[in-house]
Structure formats: structure tokens, C-alpha cells
Structure 1
């Protein structure tokens, strides 16, 4: 059975992050994608211009429209925008969701732009993290969740933070170490057990939407795999998408990863001389 997976997130008109990236990652990993918009974001590969948040009641109505008609096998939550929307999502999940919930605590864009007010972070920490079955913070996001001023700078510090992150309430934590640098990208998954997941670091500036893509791929894979296997496969998928990212020509800044690298490489597009 093909899983139905829902993303609750903000938009990216250039298609590299947010809901657009989530839907691509769902499809590339064999899931049918559905979406609920929390915010419309004017952004591109160079940065974020402005954000228009949806009314919380409208976010709840979108979620209800999906769950009242469609079997939902997993949920991915990305950009929440503000505390009222976080509350609306939590109430909706409590009413409807009996499936894995993957929370990517999106607070800062790749460009460094803040995507939500600092005062709203507490709502993510207290309302959504305990409701999630898996959270996927990178090192800056983990520091925000733990209310720390100094970002982790070593694998040892990452391991030392796992217990405190788990104490926030999710069943599993995927702490992503991409910001450490080095020849390898090392993430740590902890839940019923703890494992390190390592992949070669890909030398490309086209890494827009990596966090969205990874968490969405995990959500797409969870209905058919255990947590460790789903995360391992999703990381392998993202690494390949990064490796093929330079095949795309999208934007003048941090371009997107190549979500459909496997499909398009097997069936190359004939752009020149194509028949209409």
C-alpha cells in the first residue's frame, strides 16, 4: 500500500525548501504527498524577504479537511510561524493523528534569516516537541531548543546533549551534525537505542532545503520501516540528492538539492528540439 504523508509547513516559491521540497521528497521516496500551509514565504536561494502567517483557525481547518477524508500514515511538521499556529497544530494532532509525527524545528533559514519570533520558540518546545515521535534539529536549532547561547562544536558535545534533548518529550531525536564541518557529516539518532549515522560531506553550495528534505524523506519512509532504518535510508537519499545538486541551475545563491536525481538520471529530459 502506498503511504499517504502530510506536511504542515511554510512555502518556498523557488521550490527548494518548505512544502515544495517536502512534496518532492515524499514522491521520490514512494509516498503520496499532501500539504497544509502555515505561512506563505517570499524567499529564494539568496534569502528570506517576508512571511505572511496563516490564521490559526485556517491551519486547523486545512488539517481537518485532510484527516476527515484521507488515511494519513505519517505527518511532517516544518515551519510553524508562531505560537498560535503551534497550538492549532497540537490540538489538531491530538484530535486526529494516530501516526508517526516528524518535527523539523525550523527556526533559521539556510541564509541565517530567522523565520519566527524568539518569543514563539517556547510554544514549539512545550507544545509540539512532546507531541512528536521524532525531532530533527540541527546544531543551531538544538541550541535554541535547549535555551543555550553557545552552539555545540564537537561530536562529544552532541552526545552530551542527547539526554537533555530527549527530556523535552519526543520519543526519538535526530541531532544533525552538519554544522561541525569536516570530511564527514555525522548525525546521532537516539531513542530506544543510540546510533551514529555517517556520510561523506558533499562539496556543493547547493544545499538549500536539506533539513526539510531529510525530515520529509524520513516521514515518507516511516510507514514501511523502523526508525533507525528510515533515518538511515533518508540520510542516504539526501546525500545522493546533494551529490547531484550541481546538475541543477536554480538561483544565484544556495540552490536546491536534486530531489529527483534517481528518476531524472534514468530518464534524461530532451530539452533541445523537443516536440510540443
Structure 2
């Protein structure tokens, strides 16, 4: 029998370990707990990094990742999943298949981290395949990332190719003309724009991790995808305003 906690849904993050706590599993767990959920984690990689430097990434063995995941899926009633860095398409597909086997109806947020904020390139293979997209709820790239996710050069064609299979939340931190404007493209053809607040914000290490983990948390609490995106953006902006450094506070 799988375990649950009354009124506090389980949210699972599948991501890398950042020892400074600004990104990856630690940032995800802080975000998940701050948004009324209980955080569980599966580690895909161990890193040596700080908020402004990246020295090394050691990928976990695929079989070990899947054993971690299977153990949690068999024990806990997981309400939503966030996926961050994974080594390649092969392990990502295996993760998604295992999730589908155990929790078919739980939303899955995929944050395709192609490069760390300190400049490390994770060398993702192209992710825009139907077999991946049809098994997630929403993809959350920024403008730089979406340009790298397939060989297609035209941005509108890239967007169309994604929303044929899943929902897309395009982050606007690198928007070429409207910085900070995020757009949600729904599978059903609807589109929603989310504009930044006018309050002063400060650059943060791991802001994409925070946003995707917050989104998963709100989905776990029963919000619609549109509302989850809006609330996740507001939570992320709160983290960006939390102090002058690159490490966010989760208050």
C-alpha cells in the first residue's frame, strides 16, 4: 500500500544535486515545501558548483536512478513530478515510462536545463520527439533553450511542433524584445501571456528550477495549468526579490 499525507501532496523532483543549494534538488525541495507540499527527490547527477562557478558533473548510473525512482513510486502517492537535468534521451525515456507505469494521471513538468547559469553545457540531445512530449504535461524552456531543442530554425515552427503533443511554457528571461514576458501555449490552441511585475528583482542562480518546481507544486494542489503558471511566476519573482545575492531565500 502506498503512503500519503493528509492535505499535503507529495511532489517528486528528479534532478541534479547542487551543493550550494541554489539550483537542482535542494532548490526544488525548498520550493516544494514552501508551497504546501512534501518533497521527494531522485538524484540524476552530482556536481561541484557554486552560484557563480561550475567545475564538474558526475552523472548517476541509469540503473541506480531507476531503482531510486521505482522505490519511491511503490511507496508514495505522488501528485506531481518535476524533471530537471538528465544525461540523455535514453534515461529520460526510461524515467517517463516508469512514471507512466505507476502514476498515469500525475502532471509532469519537464525543465530542459541545457546550460547552468554559471555556463556549464549539459549537452542535451534533441528532446522534441513525440515519444517524450506526449508523456509530459508541460515543457518549460527559456528562449535560448528552445532554439537548441531541435534542428528546426524557425521559432514558430518549433512552438507548433511542441504543442501538437504537449503544453509549452516559454520563459521570457531571455526574450529578445520583451524581457520577462512568459507565454503559456496550451495543447488545445489557447495562449496566455504572463508579464513581469514592476518591482525590482535580482538575478538568481537556479531561477528556472524554482519556477518549474513551484509549477509542479501548484499542480499537485489542484490548480489548473494556467493558474499554476501564474502562481509559479509570482513565487519565482518573490525569490528573485528576496536578496541582492544570486542565492534565493524561500520565505
TM category, shorter? 0.7 to 0.9
Structure 2 match to 1:258: 249
- Pick one of 138, 141, 147 that aligns with 1:137: 141
SS at match of 1:180: coil
Asked if 1:112 is matched to 2:131, the reply is: no
Q: Deviations over 1:187-244 (max 9, x none)?
A: 0001132110011366555411010000000000002211101110110111111111
Once the two structures are superposed, the pairs formed by residues 1-276 of structure 1 within 5 Å of their partners are: 1-98=7-104, 99-115=106-122, 117=123, 120-122=124-126, 124-126=127-129, 127-148=131-152, 161-167=158-164, 169-170=165-166, 172-180=167-175, 185-191=180-186, 192=188, 193-200=190-197, 205-223=202-220, 224-246=222-244, 255-260=246-251
Does the 8 A contact of 1:185 with 1:201 survive in 2? no
CA root-mean-square deviation? 2.1
SS at match of 2:235: helix
Q: 1:245 to 1:130 in 2, by over 3 A?
A: farther
SS at match of 2:115: coil
SS at match of 2:15: strand
TM-score, structure 1 normalization: 0.80
Q: 1:202 to 1:58 in 2, by over 3 A?
A: farther
- Kindly state the Cα deviation for residue 68 of structure 1 after the two structures are TM-superposed: 0.3
Does the 8 A contact of 1:19 with 1:35 survive in 2? yes
- Kindly state the Cα deviation for residue 128 of structure 1 after the two structures are TM-superposed: 3.1
CA distance in 2, matches of 1:206, 1:177: 13
TM-score, structure 2 normalization: 0.88
Q: 1:15 to 1:62 in 2, by over 3 A?
A: same
Structure 2 match to 1:266: none
Q: Deviations over 1:35-57 (max 9, x none)?
A: 00011111111222111111111
Gap regions ≥5 residues in structure 1: 151-156, 250-254, 261-276
Does the 8 A contact of 1:182 with 1:201 survive in 2? no
SS at match of 2:217: helix
CA distance in 1, matches of 2:199, 2:86: 29
Higher helix share: 1
SS at match of 2:249: coil
Rg (Cα) greater in structure:
1
Gap regions ≥5 residues in structure 2: 1-6
Matched pairs, number? 240
CA distance in 1, matches of 2:152, 2:175: 17
CA distance in 2, matches of 1:229, 1:36: 27
SS at match of 1:199: coil
CA distance in 1, matches of 2:23, 2:116: 9
